[in-house]
Amino acid sequence: MKIFGHPWIKSPSFAAVKCQEEIASTPAGSILLFDDLAAQIAMVHYCQKEGISFAVRAGDVTTALLAHALGANYIVASADSAQRVQQLAQHYLFDTQILVEITDESSIELYADMGLDGVILPAALLG
């Protein structure tokens, strides 16, 4: 299980971006985070073309499947859909990893038991 944002573990940050101009100002090594796949599809295509790592927040299974098909490195699933998205990712052998945002480390065990690929704590989120 990957754990992003824990003070004991060095990990990249996730930088939420709203427009392509913000991409250039994100810290080196950070993973771009898109909140709205439909509205940000041009930036997703830019990341594909340039080989930039990116994640997509997916509140539903369809968005998660589309994010995987578009080459997202990570899908940040909603707490409600995380287990189902993870099951589909395992069934279809996704390269994309499934994460869920948590507010503190007390939830790590819960999502580990569900078999999620990882969690993101607030310290890993920029912007």
What does the pLDDT look like over 32-53, one tens digit per residue? 999 999 999 999 999 999 999 9
Task: Give the residue-averaged pLDDT of 17-44.
Answer: 94
Task: Give the residue-averaged pLDDT of 51-67.
Answer: 96
Strand partners, 34: 56
Binning pLDDT at 50, 70 and 90, where does residue 20 land? confident
Query: To which residue do tokens 């771009």 refer?
Result: 32
Binning pLDDT at 50, 70 and 90, where does residue 118 land? very high
Alpha-carbon gap, residue 103 to 36, rounded angstroms: 21
Structure tokens at 127: 């912007």
Q: Which numeric CATH code is attached to 2-7+30-126? A: 3.20.20.70
**What are the domain boundaries of the chain?**
2-7+30-126
Which of 36-44's residues contact partners 24+ apart within 8 Å by CB, and which partners? 37/63, 37/66, 37/67, 37/70, 43/17, 43/19, 44/70, 44/72
